[in-house]
Amino acid sequence: MFPRPHQSFRALDPIPARAGIGLKGEHMDDVLDTQPALGWFEVHPENYMNSGGMLHDRLEKIRDLYPLSLHGVGLSLGTYGPLDRAHLLRLKELETRYQPGLISEHLAWCRYKDSHFNDLLPLPLTQSALDVMVAHVDEMQEVLGRQVLIENPSTYIAFDGVEMSEPEFLAALASRSGCGLLLDINNVYVSAQNHGFDAVDYLRRFPVAAVQEIHLAGHALEVRDGHEIRIDDHGSKVSQEVWQLYRFYLQQAGPVPTLIEWDTNVPSLAVLQEQAALADVELSGGPLIGSPHGAADGMFAPLLGGQHG
């Protein structure tokens, strides 16, 4: 009743260095009807951790047409203590079923004992946090039988007396576990604004060689008690500042598979395609080609002005 005739071709699809979009349930029929010219799709495996029904039927059909990436939000790699083995095995089932080109997770935690918070919570970047992350990434890669990517989170708090910067921490994690990295440039910008560090400097320190995927998304600027804070809500178009940082990064690193994420107030598929098309323009060299690093610095001067207190 539910045979999948094309499964044997799926493994031949790595994620290309093009723009893809986060696949939402409300867009699946539209994708199948119109088969848009997008490089790839990404889904949260947590939304597919049951075995049947409409969503799986649609995802199977879309997987037959496009490369797919699984982007986990629930494994809680940063939680002290044993990894949630049952969750990891459910992820493994999805890996076997959908043969994704990439699997990623976060530098974050979301579980304490048996309670799940459904949010990417911040980790103090200490030696003991690094030991826990390395052990859990090792276990994840061993169970899945592949290298995974770990993403930098957006954060709203920072800790006194931290032992490492985020780029240092992620470089050490990649070096010790052999994992790759997923660089979320919107998260870099949101965290930089929220904590007053220099986003360009962060990108310069980031271990470029380990980066295999980029995320771009919109965020919200909120004012609370008279103070501004940027919230990573994935609920709008990618901001101009983030596009500029993206351009700067590509000039340093060359093209990387790039995902447009949009998870709240989800617009039509056409709007997501427009955002992906903008990323594709940047990936193919951008509208302004050949800007040397010095010129890029000049471009950032107004953007970053006033941040260095």
Partner 1 sequence: MDKTWQRAENASGNNDLEMFQAGFARVIGGAPAYVLPLSLTSYGMPVERRLDVYRNNVHLSLADVLAGNFPVVKQLVGEEFFSAMAGVFLQTHLPRQAGLIGFGETFPDFLDGFEPAHALPYLPDVARFEWAWIGAAKAKDAPVLDPTRLGDVTADRIGELRFTLHPSCRLVSSRFPIVSLWQRSIAGEDLAGLAFEDNGEAVALFRPQLDVLQRPLTPGGFEFLKALADGCALDVGAERAATHDDFDIEHSLETELVAALGAGLFSDFKLPDAAN
Nearer to partner 1, 267 or 286 (CB): 267
- CA 193 to CA 141: how far, in whole Å? 33
| Closest distance to partner 1 from the beta carbon of 75 (Å) | 7
CB of 284 to partner 1, least distance (A): 36
- CB 261, min distance to partner 1, A: 15
**Site of interaction with partner 1 (CB under 8 A):** 1-2, 46-47, 49-54, 56-57, 73-76, 78-81, 84, 86-87, 90, 109-119, 121-124, 126, 128-129, 132, 156-161, 194-196, 224-225, 227-229, 231
With respect to partner 1, which residue has the nearer C-beta, 75 or 216? 75
Residue 83 contacts by C-beta under 8 Å, 6 or more apart in sequence?
Answer: 75, 76, 77, 136, 139, 140
Token reading at 147:
């290298």
- Judged by beta carbon, residue 33 or residue 114, the one nearer partner 1 is 114
Nearest in space to 44 (alpha carbons), one of 17, 25, 18, 16: 25
Instruction: Tell the burial category of 276 from Cβ atoms under 10 Å away from its Cβ (0-12, 13-18, 19+).
Output: buried
Nearer to partner 1, 227 or 292 (CB): 227
Instruction: Using the minimum distance from each CB to partner 1, give the nearer residue, 6 or 85.
Output: 85
Residue 39 C-beta: closest distance to partner 1, Å: 27
Residue 189 in tokens: 């910008």
Phi and psi torsions of 212, nearest 5°: -120, -5
Report, in Å, the least distance between residue 34 CB and partner 1: 20
21 versus 120: smaller Cβ distance to partner 1: 120
Output the smallest distance, CB 57 to partner 1, in A: 6
Strand 41-43 and strand 149-151: the pairing is: unpaired
| The token pair that represents 225 in the structure block | 């008690």
Helix (H, G, I), strand (E, B) or coil at 253: helix
Amino acid at 99: Q
